[in-house]
Amino acid sequence: MRSWCGVLVSVLTGAVLLSGCTRYTPAQPENMSQEGTDGVTESDATEETVTSSAAEDILSIRDEDSEAYPERTPVKVKGIYLSAYTAGNEETLDSIIERIDETELNAVVIDFKTDEGYIAAEVDSELLKEVGACRNYIPDLPGLMEKLERHGIYTIARVVAFKDPYLAEQRPEWSLKTGDGSLYRDKQGLAWVNPYSTEVWDYLVETGTQAAMAGFDEIQFDYIRFSTDSTMRQVVFDENQTLGRSRTDIITEFTQYAYGKLRPLGVFVSADVFGAVIGSEQDARAVGQNYGDMACHVDYICPMIYPSHYGDGNFGLDHPDLYPYETVLRALQKSSSELAEYGAGKATDSEILTRPRAVVRPWLQDFTATYLKNHKTYKDDEIREQIQAVYDAGYEEWILWNAANDYHYGGLLDE
């Protein structure tokens, strides 16, 4: 550990996308395909499995080539998500830490920049103060970091990227616009900042820098994408700004830019992506997330493969939410296949740059999708099944998502 300083759902490609503070925001792009309708069986998976250990070897090589950078020690993460409110409540946090100490858990993902666009603690940044984004959700950030380090807990700062209604209102010139020049708003009435804006890039990098200075081991970008709302058809992009670059081009460029700025600080960098983009060019184009390209420019890529995300028929399953083990296994087999094949035949100055280098660390479902007609109650067994599927797919890391931070610790192994 470093010591320096729901809810509404909608169908996307036949898969339910959960995002936002609860990861349950509407997503209704008309141009997105149904993912996995042809079904993926275990025998369809490639024999060449990309494991965390192999990816970490690449991380090690990268660090050797960057001798001037601070040393980093990879951790095989078994983590849970905590909201800024939970992290800032000492009594609640202490109870959670006690459970972490008793189980196989060793990491937490904490909101540092929230879904509303607020910074979760007061930080010493002229830019963030000028925008007025800081809030006192975590009253004693140094004390929090010291406590987590004392318990040997790996810390990941969640930074919500392009969904930022607060910044969009404060800096409309950095935001998505409609044809009449007004702010674009999704169906929830929330404005989004423009991924093509380099000012937004620097704002996000400054946020990540402040998290690194606070002592977080890793910066994780969420909502590192375009809005999936069907109202995006109203958005007009300035050709002088886009310069012919597609949505996937610009998201990959930002990912590379942010990594280049944050890596010298001694932190790891990760990105959350929709599971639906794996193996689907149409879905990737709609949200701007190219799985293989992004994996070339972060240390960890974190697909959200909650069984409730996937519509009926995905992976050959009638109702994927009813099959937590099979859904997670087949989604990760698809990940292995895509990353193993990615970059074949590309010729660049450095062969290592043609291959995804990210460790795959999936988000798993620790909530019950009661909004689905055909759903299963997720308890200890369902959590364990998903974790076992991660291991059986050849991966070693995972994070559990529950918006209320109410986890089924009985599904975890004892320490």
pLDDT digits (tens, 9 = 90+) for 342-369: 755 443 444 444 456 799 999 999 999 9
Residue type, 183: L
* DSSP-assigned letter for residue 225: S
Please tell me which residue, 155 or 344, carries the higher pLDDT value: 155
Q: Domain extents for the chain?
A: 11-406
Q: Are 108 and 153 in contact (CB under 8 A)?
A: yes
Per-position DSSP letters for 130-157, written without gaps between them: HHT-B--SSTTHHHHHHHHHHTT-EEEE
For the cut 50, the answer to whether the pLDDT of residue 61 exceeds it is no
Question: For the chain, what is the mean pLDDT?
Answer: 86
- Token pair of 29 as six digits: 């792009």
Which run of H or E residues covers position 273? strand 268-274
Give backbone dihedrals phi and psi of 346, rounded to 5 degrees, phi first. Answer: -75, 140
For the cut 80, the answer to whether the pLDDT of residue 25 exceeds it is no
- For residue 125, count other CB atoms closer than 10 A to its CB: 18
CA atoms within 13 A on the CB side of 374: 14
In angstroms, the CA 411 to CA 314 distance is 26
pLDDT digits (tens, 9 = 90+) for 99-140: 999 999 999 999 999 999 999 999 999 999 999 999 999 999
Query: Of the candidates 34, 11, 35, 63, which has an alpha carbon nearest to the alpha carbon of residue 338?
Result: 35
For the cut 60, the answer to whether the pLDDT of residue 18 exceeds it is no
Q: Are 28 and 229 in contact (CB under 8 A)?
A: yes
Secondary structure (3-state) at 324? helix
What's the confidence (pLDDT) of residue 59?
Answer: 54
Average the pLDDT over 56-80 and give the result.
74
Q: Are 309 and 250 in contact (CB under 8 A)?
A: no
What's the confidence (pLDDT) of residue 28?
Answer: 37
In angstroms, the CA 234 to CA 182 distance is 10
Please tell me which residue, 252 or 46, carries the higher pLDDT value: 252
Average the pLDDT over 39-43 and give the result.
29
Query: Of the candidates 403, 376, 371, 373, which has an alpha carbon nearest to the alpha carbon of residue 8?
Result: 371
- Packing angle, helices 324-341 and 380-392, rounded to 10: 20
Query: Of the candidates 63, 59, 39, 41, which has an alpha carbon nearest to the alpha carbon of residue 51?
Result: 59
Secondary structure (3-state) at 130? helix
Query: Of the candidates 49, 7, 265, 65, which has an alpha carbon nearest to the alpha carbon of residue 157?
Result: 265
What's the confidence (pLDDT) of residue 342?
Answer: 75
Buried b (16+ CB within 10 A) or exposed e, 195-223: bbbeebbebbbbbbbbbbebbbbbbbbbb
What's the confidence (pLDDT) of residue 357?
Answer: 78
- Token pair of 99 as six digits: 């459970």
Q: Are 23 and 403 in contact (CB under 8 A)?
A: yes
% of the chain beyond a pLDDT of 90: 77
Residue given tokens 């810390």 in the structure block = 155
Query: Of the candidates 319, 296, 310, which has an alpha carbon nearest to the alpha carbon of residue 365?
Result: 310
What's the confidence (pLDDT) of residue 340?
Answer: 86
CATH architecture group of domain 11-406: Alpha-Beta Barrel (3.20)
Residue given tokens 């519509």 in the structure block = 311
What's the confidence (pLDDT) of residue 356?
Answer: 62
For the cut 80, the answer to whether the pLDDT of residue 274 exceeds it is yes
